[in-house]
Structure formats: C-alpha cells, structure tokens
Chains A and B, each alone.
Chain A
Amino acid sequence: MMRIIIADDSAMARMFVKRCLEISGFLDAEFIEKENGKEVLESLREQPADLVVTDLNMPGMDGTELLKAIKASPRLFDTPVLVVSSTTNPKKTEELESLGAFAVLGKPISPATLAPAVAPLLEKEEE
C-alpha cells in the first residue's frame, strides 16, 4: 500500500487533493494529512512516504522550505514531492523543479490535471 502525505493548512484543500488522487488511481493508498511542512518532516522521520503532495503557502514551515529539507536529507532525498499551489507560474515552476520537485501543479487541480503528473508513480507501483 502506498503511503501519501498531503500537506495544506486547509482541510478542504487536503480533502480535494485526496479525492483527486483517489480518482487518479490511488484508491488503496494510505493518506496522511498534515497542516505544514514541519508536521510532514516529523511524520517522515517516523516512517517514509511514497509521495508528498504539498501546498506552498502554509504557516510555520512552507512548501518550499519543506522541499529543500527533504532534498537535503540523504534518507528522504528520494521521496517524490508534488507541489500544488495557487501561486505558480513558469518562473516559480522552474525554481521548484530545480530544487527537486517531482511536478508542480497550479490550483485548482482536477483529476484531469493530476492524473498525468502522478501516472509514473502508479506505473512504478504496479511493476
């Protein structure tokens, strides 16, 4: 079973991402919801995840800091980080991808925009 952490300070946004992931094929995944980057890192220290989906704009530790922390950790480095944020443009996307983001999607997401982005992870899981 895949373990997916969803980080967003909005419960509605977390639920929306979860629904989109389920529709995109992650029906049997275990979803863990966190409100900021710090909580995600604490969870990752206890148990690794197969995917982290994070917002950027969160109080406490934001998504960019979380991405940097994951990619700076030899133990967590391989964790795919998918950024879902309302403030994305090509410049920001390029910056996040250079930091190691697996993919960057602008809100509002939908299953149609999410599915192609996460398809490689599903294929890897099925192998």
Chain B
Amino acid sequence: MPTPVTIDTAAVIEAVKDTFETMAFMEVTPMDEENRLEMEEPLWATIEIMEPVQGRFTLVIPNALAEEITETLFISDTESPIAENLALDTLAELVNTIAGRLMSDQVNLEHTLSIGLPEYGRGLPETQKGLVIYLNIEEIHPITVVAEGNAFQDQAID
C-alpha cells in the first residue's frame, strides 16, 4: 500500500524557485504576508492534482511579470506587444511545471502521478483557500501560490 503523501511549505517554495530560476532566470524570495507588495493586474493559472493526492495548485502573478518572462523567451526583432494569450500561456506552463515538479519530488516510486490541464484567467482566482504562500520575484514582483488539499501542510521554514 503506498505511503501517505504530505507536502510542506518549504517543498512548495523549492519547486517554485527551481522553476522560475530555470525557465525565467529569476530569483525567488519568500515574503511575509504583512510585508507583501500590492499586485497590479493579477493573472491566475490553476491545475488540478489528481494522483497521488487530490488537490489544486494555483499561481497568481502580475501581468507585468508574465509579459517579462514571455518577452525573455520569445526574443523578437519587432516591438509589438506580447499577445495577451501568450502571457497567459506562459503562466499556465509555469503552474504546470511547478505542480509536476512538486509531485515528482515528493512522491515515492510506487505512486502514480497525474495532474490535469491548466486553466487560466485575468483578475484574482475565485478560491484562495488552503496553504497560501507569498513570494517575491527579483524583489519587485509579488506572486501568490495557493495549494489546496489535505496533503499540503503549513510548516515553519528554517
């Protein structure tokens, strides 16, 4: 019988850090809730985690950050603005990668991994219940990570 899976705050932060540093070359730092920066023009992307735990993983980031990451990757000779759906697509791929990376790191060999397809939108997501983590990207962009489900546990970080 597979062993139960528990995922703590530090593991979530590590998955976010690794993904942003590898894909966007950006530094991620934790931020206290009371000191968090105000987020302008938020975008959200969410993904359902189906196996080995049931839950949902949501990432909320400012539009300016999504555009910055997208521009870095899609280096263009033109000065045309990044297409709206491309910035959302970038966010969706980030949440997909973070959720998958988190599951891959935390589960044992006997577990089957299964996550859904990302959904995304503008504004704030409907649900912000669960383990909520506030982070800063490059010390100027606030982002919020919401992990819903029994496996996610709020634990102190050293």
Contacts and interface: CB of A to CB of B under 8 A. Distances in A.
Contact of B23 (A85, A90, A108): A108
Q: How large is the interface on B (under 10, 10 to 19, 20 to 34, 35 or more residues)?
A: 20 to 34
B28 to A, nearest CB: 13
A26 to B, nearest CB: 17
Contacts of A59: 117
Interface string B24-68: 000000000000000000000000000000000000000000000
A10 B22 CA distance: 17
Interface residue SS majority, chain B: helix
B109 A12 contact: no
Contacts of B143: none
B124 interface: no
Given A10-B96, A15-B74, A86-B115, A107 B109 contact: no
Interface residues of A, number: 23
Contacts of A109: 22
B110 A91 contact: yes
Contacts of B96: 10, 13, 57, 86, 107
B150 interface: no
Interface in B88-113: 89-90, 92-93, 96-97, 99-101, 103-104, 107, 109-113
B93 A13 contact: yes
A13 B95 CA distance: 12
Contact of B100 (A10, A16, A107): A107
Interface of B: 18-19, 22-23, 70, 73-74, 86, 89-90, 92-93, 96-97, 99-101, 103-104, 107, 109-115, 117
6 contacts: A9-B117, A12-B89, A13-B96, A86-B100, A86-B115, A91-B111
